[in-house]
Structure 1
Amino acid sequence: MRNVLAAGLACAGLLGVAACSSPPKPSGGATALVIGNRQNMPAPALTQAARAALDAAIERGDQLVIVSVTGDPKVVAKSDLACPWKSTEGCKKFLRDNLAKLPAIVTKYPADAKETSLFAAIKLARDNISSVPGPKQIITIDSGLDTTGPLAMNDLSVLDADAADLGKELKTERYSPDLTGISVLMTGLGQTVAPQVRLTSPDSARLAALWTAVLQQAGAKPIRIEPDSLPPGQRAAVLPVVSVTKRPELPSPKNLCRQFRFNEAQLGFQPNKSAFADRNRARTALRDLAAALQRTGFNVVLTGTTAYKESRPGNPLSNARATAAKGILVELGVPAGHILTQGVGINWSGYHPPDGPVEAMKMRLVLMDPTCPR
């Protein structure tokens, strides 16, 4: 049935073919093809899984929407996936003439704005297909490493956060679109090219878990994340700039005379608690700093912060988190008498009201200030 896709796209001008007679209104549903064609990820391509999903759309005669993933996503094309001819032979001829051009669709619309937000692109896709009756699906070809918007991952420690809790927060705070009745297929997730760093296997798994949780909370069903690889290779330098996402560097014992910041995900705190979900994560994050404090004998001030004003006086949560971090340093050999703790809530110089749960995570910190001799 791929002849139907070729015919519909050709009539819409997407394949560079002359316009046909007006096709009948689609009898099926709607498909949104959400494509990242930008720096820091491989060139987009229709993987086997994406082709299969499009086959289902073709058979139904869906309406098609194509969304370009950038920091400012936009709809770049629309079409009907319905054959304009009344005869099977006519559709077969269209297939022979145009099927070879089909893969070019996914590379036809390079990014025209800097940065990237798959989250915003999915929301835009939803807005353009939600009113169409019948089955609806979103197919993404993107690495999923947002650099702007509510799910920005410039700091990859967001992948250490509780995925289910983050998905719930995005929904509760009304950042997530309502994807009820929409299936989502993700391809290319976590796939990168230089200058973006290659994700480790654990981080790739965490990225998949994060997107699954976010989409589940938004109501999407079913959700499929396919491992099909996109073609490797560098991207054109003329494509707009996209920030490199990376994990924060661990403290260097060579330079103790500065402030170190650890967010709640790096330290493995349970959401809105001072208890650790993963104590070993905190030990790993603080090991080098603890060794340097032991060697130099410096004192250190630990300051707990929060993303929002604490409801109880005395900033109990931020105080408790600073105390919990002290416990880890003591376990790692730093004398307890060399560590001072305090909780300040939102009253610290780097605070700004967060826009969404990811930014909120970056405001929930334990600041560590060694007292270096002058």
Structure 2
Amino acid sequence: MNRAGGLLAVVLAGALVAGCSSDEGGAGGGFAGGGGGALSCPVPVGPMAFAVSGRANSPEPGLPQAVQDATVSTLTRAVDEDYQPRITLINVDGRPVSAGSDTFSSDAGNGIAAEDDRNAFLNGFGEALTGLRAQTPEVDVLGALDLAGRSAGGNRPGTVVLVDSGLSTVAPLDFRQRGLLDAPPAETVEALRANNALPGLQGVTVVLAGLGDVAEPQPALSPAQRSSLVALWTAVAEAGGASCVAVVDEPRGGDAPSDVPPVSVVDVPPPPTITPGQTTTLPDDNSVGFQPDTAEFRDRNAARAVMTPFAQFLTASPSRRLALTGTSARAGTPQGQVDLSTRRAEAVKALLVELGAPGDRISTRGVGSQFPGYVDDVGPDGRQLPGPASQNRTVIVEPTG
């Protein structure tokens, strides 16, 4: 049998080979069991790069079942095609680096011997993957994705697998910047493109796993926030040139590795506090936010759930009134800002009326970016800053009676 695992060796023997889930009886490196089903993208027989984090604030490294199955399948088909794929492991931390790479090959004369070669190779790879530990403080997920994309390039289409919570803390995609988690993905992608910061993923298949799954002390994300994070990283991968992007929903749990460099906690904004009798600022998020440059809700059903208590408040007494004030980022002309913020306030009013509130007791106006709480959302180069811009896009609901 050929040498099958000179690559990386540290801790998960056999999880890939056995296809076992990460329940207490297996060594799946922090993913829940139950099988993950097939990936939504075809995985080509080509080079593979795994960008995996063994860092603070994120569960210990491991691969979900669907990725394990796809990796086994790729190496099996590589033997059939007489192709020797290169497998690279990227350490995701504040300064991502290649943790090592190796080429899988088999000179076996029959299927059983080829399977033995494959399993031996995957044993070594699995041990290295789960033993991966961060070396540098913070985490640069964008940089890791770019490095993985370059590692998976070549004459054949390759595959990049990213396993991390996705909460990067290094510029230009630093989720410590307030509002960035809620910003529309298209806007963040455009900001990255303007700074030539999109990852190079031309023609590769990208698999995203573990997004939004965190470990203490990082506060947990809400389902809406995780959805925003998944949408953002999907958009980043697509904008980077990925041929197909698959998101693995299999939850990733467990504690973070010990004795690793610190990673800053990302402040996770709580959902809006709904106190209908008090002034409430509706944020630009997946609950009551709008599609970019429109007065269309991102999720109308979620907006209905948020606005129902306000409609009930208004109908409970004929003396009650609500004033809706729309605000905006500083983009476009001042008049355009006022017009857009007015239309968004009117969209909230229309939703309240739809929920049974009397329209004649609801007033609307738009003030654009001219309001006391405005946060500077234009950078030194004159470009929009997605996080601050998201903070400025609100509808303020104020009881007046």
Give the TM-score of the pair, scaled to structure 1. 0.69
Instruction: Answer whether contact 1:168 1:214 (CA < 8 A) is retained.
Output: yes
Say yes or no: does 1:31 pair with 2:48: yes
Instruction: Answer whether contact 1:170 1:214 (CA < 8 A) is retained.
Output: no
Please report how far the alpha carbon of residue 32 of structure 1 lies from its aligned counterpart in structure 2 after TM superposition: 1.8
Q: Which residue of 2 aligns with 1:6?
A: 5
Q: 1:267 to 1:361 in 2, by over 3 A?
A: farther
Please report how far the alpha carbon of residue 157 of structure 1 lies from its aligned counterpart in structure 2 after TM superposition: 9.2
Q: Which residue of 2 aligns with 1:225?
A: 247
**Is 37-46 or 149-158 further displaced after alignment?**
149-158
Give distance in 1, aligned partners of 2:107 and 2:275: 74
Say which of 122, 125, 138 aligns to 2:145.
122
Q: Which residue of 2 aligns with 1:353?
A: 378
Q: How do 1:189-268 and structure 2 match up within 5 A?
A: 189-196=211-218, 208=230, 210-228=232-250, 230=252, 232-236=253-257, 238-239=259-260, 240-244=262-266, 246=268, 248-253=270-275, 256=278, 260-263=281-284, 265-268=286-289
Q: How do 1:66-81 and structure 2 match up within 5 A?
A: 66-70=89-93, 72-81=94-103
Q: How do 1:12-51 and structure 2 match up within 5 A?
A: 14-15=8-9, 30-51=47-68
Give the helix-richer structure, 1 or 2: 1
Residues 188-229 of structure 1: per-residue CA shift (max 9 Å, x gap): 344444445666677766655554444334321243334555
Give distance in 2, aligned partners of 1:93 and 1:324: 63
Q: Which residue of 1 aligns with 2:128?
A: 105
Q: 1:99 to 1:177 in 2, by over 3 A?
A: closer
3-state SS of paired residue (1:138): strand
Say which of 139, 142, 159 aligns to 2:161.
139
Q: Which residue of 1 aligns with 2:368?
A: 344
Q: Which residue of 2 aligns with 1:21?
A: none
Q: Which residue of 1 aligns with 2:394?
A: 366
Q: Which residue of 1 aligns with 2:207?
A: 185
Cα RMSD for the two superposed structures? 4.7
Give distance in 2, aligned partners of 1:327 and 1:228: 38
Q: 1:158 to 1:280 in 2, by over 3 A?
A: farther
Residues 339-362 of structure 1: per-residue CA shift (max 9 Å, x gap): 452322376632322777852761
Please report how far the alpha carbon of residue 119 of structure 1 lies from its aligned counterpart in structure 2 after TM superposition: 3.3
Instruction: Answer whether contact 2:183 2:390 (CA < 8 A) is retained.
Output: no
Give distance in 2, aligned partners of 1:314 and 1:221: 37
Please report how far the alpha carbon of residue 139 of structure 1 lies from its aligned counterpart in structure 2 after TM superposition: 1.7
Say yes or no: does 1:317 pair with 2:340: yes
Instruction: Answer whether contact 1:155 1:246 (CA < 8 A) is retained.
Output: no
Q: 1:141 to 1:276 in 2, by over 3 A?
A: closer
Q: Which residue of 1 aligns with 2:32?
A: none
- Identity, % of aligned positions: 24
Instruction: Answer whether contact 1:179 1:220 (CA < 8 A) is retained.
Output: yes
Give distance in 1, aligned partners of 2:399 and 2:277: 12
Instruction: Answer whether contact 2:329 2:337 (CA < 8 A) is retained.
Output: no
Residues 37-62 of structure 1: per-residue CA shift (max 9 Å, x gap): 12343211244443455453675434
Counterpart AA for 1:43? E
What is the count of residue pairs matched by the alignment? 350
**Is 99-108 or 329-338 further displaced after alignment?**
329-338
Counterpart AA for 2:92? V
Q: Which residue of 1 aligns with 2:198?
A: 176
**Is 267-276 or 107-116 further displaced after alignment?**
107-116
Instruction: Answer whether contact 2:4 2:121 (CA < 8 A) is retained.
Output: no
Say yes or no: does 1:305 pair with 2:328: yes
Give distance in 1, aligned partners of 2:220 and 2:345: 33
Runs of at least 5 residues in structure 2 that lack an aligned partner in the other structure? 11-44
Please report how far the alpha carbon of residue 75 of structure 1 lies from its aligned counterpart in structure 2 after TM superposition: 0.8
Q: 1:202 to 1:248 in 2, by over 3 A?
A: closer
Please report how far the alpha carbon of residue 76 of structure 1 lies from its aligned counterpart in structure 2 after TM superposition: 3.8
Q: Which residue of 2 aligns with 1:272?
A: 293
Residues 159-197 of structure 1: per-residue CA shift (max 9 Å, x gap): 88776x568746864543342221223333444444456
Please report how far the alpha carbon of residue 246 of structure 1 lies from its aligned counterpart in structure 2 after TM superposition: 4.0
Instruction: Answer whether contact 2:50 2:162 (CA < 8 A) is retained.
Output: yes
Q: 1:255 to 1:241 in 2, by over 3 A?
A: farther
Q: How do 1:328-343 and structure 2 match up within 5 A?
A: 328-329=351-352, 333=357, 336=360, 339=363, 341-343=365-367
Counterpart AA for 2:300? R
